[in-house]
Chain A
Amino acid sequence: MHDAWIALALTLKVAGWATAINLLLGVGVGYAMARWRFPGRELVDAVLTLPMVMPPTVLGYYMLVLIGTQGPIGAWLLQHFGIRMIFTWQAAVIAATVVSFPLVFKSARAAFETVDPQLEDAARLLGIGEFAVFFRVSLPLAWRGVLAGLLLSFARALGEFGATLMVAGSIPGKTQTLSIAVYEAVQAGQDDTANFLVAVTSLVCVSVLLSAGRLVPGRVAPRL
């Protein structure tokens, strides 16, 4: 059973990093999209939401094209830093980040749109700088929605399979996450391993979803 724990630890590491990156990216982009009016805004929104509806293998293929050693980003990394991204756990992080990004971005945008811009104006008039307005007014009023989105994206990253397999492969102990390990175990006819992996995965996903459910905005009365 030792291998299952290694796969779990790797999965949590990959999903954790992906969620941390999405905390910055998804919240930043979600806020910008909620506040800035510019032509083509909904088109940008649609493009950013694409990873949610595209088949993960297609996303994985796009990523291979970009970060593979022949790809523009991959070639640049190899040439300047000697880094090969493909088939590393970092590639799995990129795959999980891209796939789960729309969940954070969408929730964050919706949450920030419920914050009355007049409250931000009130803070500005009190002499508070733009960054402080975000951390003192916008974020505290939107955090429930943002957090629910982050938990959903964490759950999505935990279960990521297709794109991860394409860019990170299935190297036991290195890039073999839980969902990939399940697939490999079933393919190899190791039913005991598969059962155990499936049970662990289900348990982790259920607990994440339960926590997310508690944080969905609107279900909790205003704080007294």
Chain B
Amino acid sequence: MIWDIDITKRLQHGSASFEMAVAFRSDAPRLVLFGPSGAGKTQTLKVVAGLVRADRGHVRVAGRTLFASAERVDLSPQQRRLAYVFQDYALFPHLTVRQNIAFATRSGWTNPSRGLQDVSVDHWIETFRLQPVAEHYPHQVSGGQRQRVALARALMNQPTALLLDEPFAALDKGLRQRLREDLSELQRELKIPMLMITHDDDDVRTLADEVVHLQAGRVVAAIDDPQGVES
């Protein structure tokens, strides 16, 4: 089982509180969490990544238990070894594209230097066609390039799975389809399990083996194939 997730979490929004109870199991290497905004998609992804702690339940990804309240297992985000791409990419603004990608190669208290030479960093810069902007800062590169920097940075760390929070939402419509195909191809090449959240039908058509529908913090439809979304 690649994805085995069963979590409950009480969320407080001002005075209103809202209970999220999300459970799904799937063997799909490319799984999409689909639903309107406010459905709890991002919270679910953050629980999987360890950025938000669930009240109860378990999170198992590719056979590894990342969180299990009954067994008192709760790995830190550092220990989970998951690649996470934020909706607005969260690139480090004080570091160049190269330093961003190389971020995880150093574990000490200092950042990789600007002139850093590293074979695997160069490999990702080439894979994502980022050579022309490698020495630029994030605010100097295009949206599509930023997304690729975020992907490269996350993949450098040899992750066990790839988590994506609406990776195309910050991009122009024209650019999205091409980048979807790029991502699809990349996922097939790396054979890395991928969990993506979106509210865009087109993402589902190109990038989903299976879909989990979320609404108001619950799974509303059983796991189905991507065609079900179009109705």
A interface residue numbers (CB < 8 A to B): 116, 118-119, 121-129, 131-132, 135-137, 140-141, 222-224
Neighbour of B92 across the interface among A122, A132, A135, A223, CB < 8 A: A122
- For residue B86, CB closer than 8 A to chain A, the reply is yes
What are 28 residue pairs bridging A and B, where the CB atoms are less than 8 Å apart in the complex?
Answer: A118-B86, A121-B51, A121-B86, A122-B86, A123-B92, A124-B76, A124-B78, A125-B77, A125-B78, A125-B80, A125-B82, A125-B84, A126-B103, A126-B104, A126-B153, A126-B156, A127-B78, A127-B81, A127-B107, A128-B104, A129-B78, A132-B107, A135-B109, A136-B103, A140-B94, A141-B93, A141-B94, A222-B137
Interface residues of B, count at CB 8 A: 31
Q: Would you give the 0/1 interface string for B98-138, flagging 1 where the beta carbon is closer than 8 Å to chain A?
A: 00000110011111000000000000000000000000010
Q: How far is the CB of A197 from chain B (nearest CB, A)?
A: 42
- For residue B49, CB closer than 8 A to chain A, the reply is yes
- For residue B90, CB closer than 8 A to chain A, the reply is yes
**What A residues does B97 contact at CB under 8 A?**
none
Neighbour of A131 across the interface among B94, B104, B109, CB < 8 A: B109
List 10 extra interface pairs beyond A122-B90, A224-B140, CB under 8 A: A119-B92, A119-B93, A122-B86, A123-B92, A126-B156, A127-B81, A132-B109, A135-B110, A141-B94, A222-B93
Known: A119-B92, A121-B51, A122-B92. A136 touches B137 (CB 8 A): no
Considering only CB atoms, which chain B residue lies closest to A118 in the complex? B90
Most buried by B among A118, A125, A127, A136: A125
**What B residues does A132 contact at CB under 8 A?**
107-109
| A123-B103 Cα distance, complex, nearest whole Å | 8
Neighbour of A128 across the interface among B51, B78, B80, B139, CB < 8 A: B78
B interface residue numbers (CB < 8 A to A): 49-51, 76-78, 80-84, 86, 88, 90, 92-94, 103-104, 107-111, 137, 139-140, 153-154, 156-157
**What B residues does A223 contact at CB under 8 A?**
94, 137
Most buried by B among A119, A121, A129, A135: A121
Majority-rule SS of B interface residues:
loop
Considering only CB atoms, which chain B residue lies closest to A123 in the complex? B103
**What A residues does B107 contact at CB under 8 A?**
127-129, 132
**What A residues does B78 contact at CB under 8 A?**
124-125, 127-129
**What A residues does B139 contact at CB under 8 A?**
222
| A137-B82 Cα distance, complex, nearest whole Å | 20
Known: A129-B107, A136-B110. A119 touches B77 (CB 8 A): no
**What A residues does B154 contact at CB under 8 A?**
125-126
Neighbour of B51 across the interface among A125, A137, A141, A224, CB < 8 A: A125
**What A residues does B110 contact at CB under 8 A?**
135-136
**What A residues does B153 contact at CB under 8 A?**
126
| A157-B135 Cα distance, complex, nearest whole Å | 42
Known: A122-B86, A136-B109, A136-B110. A128 touches B137 (CB 8 A): no
